Amino acid sequence: MNLQKLNNFNNDIVFVDGLWGTGKSILGPIISGMQGVEKIKAESIYEYVSWLYSLKKINKDAAIWMMRTYADSSQYHNRIGREINLRWSDDTGLKQVINKWDYIKRLFGNEGNDFVDEINSKNLAFSVMSHMLMLCPELLDNSYGTRVKIIETVRHPLYMISHFANYLERFEESREFTMAYYYEGVKVPWFMNESEDEFVKGNKFERAVQCIVKLYPLLDNEIEKEKNNGLQILDISFEEIVFETKLTLKKIEFFLGRQHSEKIEIILKKQKLPRITTAQGNGHKAYGWQSSNKSELDYYQDLLKIVSDNCSIHSQENLHSTIKWYNNKYPSKLSNFSFNL
């Protein structure tokens, strides 16, 4: 038996993807506020299925069926008002939506095929915030073809270390749902496969550096490969978003073929964009983020000290190489700062 779903919706599907701590959440309201784009959702199923398929733990026909079915089902639920996230503090909660009343009215409306026709005829885009989906993007192309557009957020490696370290510190908690396995009694993220020996020996900062140093080359390879294969990908750095916001908006507008909301200035104000320094905006305090009024250089040096105080020379050298690569590919004013420890 070969599972199939042939009567698919034909609306656009937009993924806002990135590694942990790259600043995806500041793009969510911007994308959701665009013409004909539904409120962004955080649904891990696309990650799980793609990771499982990449690790050869699930059949291709089953994986494609799940990806297609879940996206269409979720978009239909969007349109009739099911599963609206009312949790106020969430990145994907109703607080972040500029047209809240439109979504509230859906709770009291009808359902049926007319809404499917509307989704297709108006090309109401389905938008999802995902983690590390671009590390194994083959299923996106196989499942959605030209429907899918991926905005990949990247960030200066030094600025991601505390987020990774704090995430990994609570990695053993039962409410932590990233796919993983155990090696010598230590829980290891799925993407550190074949790097377990080094991972289990490190402290949380060492492990954070190991992850970032391994992930960026993998991510870069997939982005370039899939772009050459015709997958629609726009990779944007966090630094470009916060320092060159207007340019970023134009890039996104062109990439998605949609106009920004007339209330874009309100959205940008809520996201504290543009910024003079990276740490002047919002962030996830649970992962170590703190707002700071320090100069960018002082903040950068504080981050360097965390590395020098907690990581081996070998890890520092590997991080230095990754930062050098990043500065060349995604230049910003941070590229002018020295890595000297």
Residue 298 forms part of a structural domain: yes
Task: Please write the tens of the pLDDT for every residue from 288-337.
Answer: 556 678 999 999 999 999 999 999 999 999 999 999 999 999 999 999 99
Share of the chain above pLDDT 70, in %: 96
Q: Please report which confidence band the pLDDT of residue 341 belongs to, taking 50, 70 and 90 as the band edges.
A: low
What's the CA gap between 104 and 77, in Å, rounded? 13
Residue 122, pLDDT score: 97
State the Cα angle at 268 between 267 and 274, rounded to 5°: 175
SS3 156: coil
What's the CA gap between 193 and 55, in Å, rounded? 10
Residue 92, pLDDT score: 84
Both tokens of 184, joined, read 């010598």
Single out the residue of 114, 131, 13 nearest to residue 70, CA to CA: 13
Residue 339 forms part of a structural domain: no
Task: Please write the tens of the pLDDT for every residue from 240-297.
Answer: 999 999 999 999 999 999 999 999 999 999 999 999 999 887 655 554 556 678 999 9
Residue 8 forms part of a structural domain: no
State the Cα angle at 183 between 59 and 164, rounded to 5°: 85
Single out the residue of 59, 57, 33 nearest to residue 270, CA to CA: 33
The distance of Cα 167 from the centroid of its chain, to the nearest Å, equals: 15
Q: Are 25 and 95 in contact (CB under 8 A)?
A: no
Residue 339, pLDDT score: 80
Across 56-73, average pLDDT: 97
Residue 340 forms part of a structural domain: no
Q: Are 53 and 136 in contact (CB under 8 A)?
A: yes
Q: Are 135 and 222 in contact (CB under 8 A)?
A: yes
- Kind plus residue range of the DSSP H or E element containing 263: none
SS3 249: helix
Q: Is the pLDDT of residue 66 over 90?
A: yes
Residue 4 forms part of a structural domain: no
Mean pLDDT of the chain: 93
Single out the residue of 3, 20, 127 nearest to residue 60, CA to CA: 3
Residue 39 forms part of a structural domain: yes
Residue 287, pLDDT score: 46
H-only helix segments in the chain = 28-32, 45-54, 60-80, 100-106, 113-121, 138-144, 161-169, 196-201, 204-228, 238-243, 245-256, 264-270, 296-310, 313-329
Residue 286, pLDDT score: 52
Task: Please write the tens of the pLDDT for every residue from 150-182.
Answer: 999 999 999 999 999 999 999 999 999 999 999
| 322-328-333-338 Cα dihedral, nearest 10 degrees | 50
Residue 84, pLDDT score: 84
Residue 341 forms part of a structural domain: no
Residue 1 forms part of a structural domain: no
Residue identified by tokens 């009312």 is 86
Q: Is the pLDDT of residue 238 over 60?
A: yes
Q: What is the CATH number of the domain that holds 41?
A: 3.40.50
Domain count, the chain: 1
- Supply the range of the domain harboring residue 249: 13-334
What's the CA gap between 2 and 59, in Å, rounded? 10
Task: Please write the tens of the pLDDT for every residue from 72-120.
Answer: 999 999 999 998 888 888 888 888 888 888 888 988 989 999 999 999 9
What's the CA gap between 41 and 32, in Å, rounded? 9
Residue type, 195: S
The distance of Cα 231 from the centroid of its chain, to the nearest Å, equals: 17
Q: Please report which confidence band the pLDDT of residue 148 belongs to, taking 50, 70 and 90 as the band edges.
A: very high
Residue 331, pLDDT score: 97
185's torsion region: left (phi>0), alpha (psi -120 to 50) or beta? left
Between 31 and 289, name the one with better pLDDT.
31
Residue 100, pLDDT score: 83
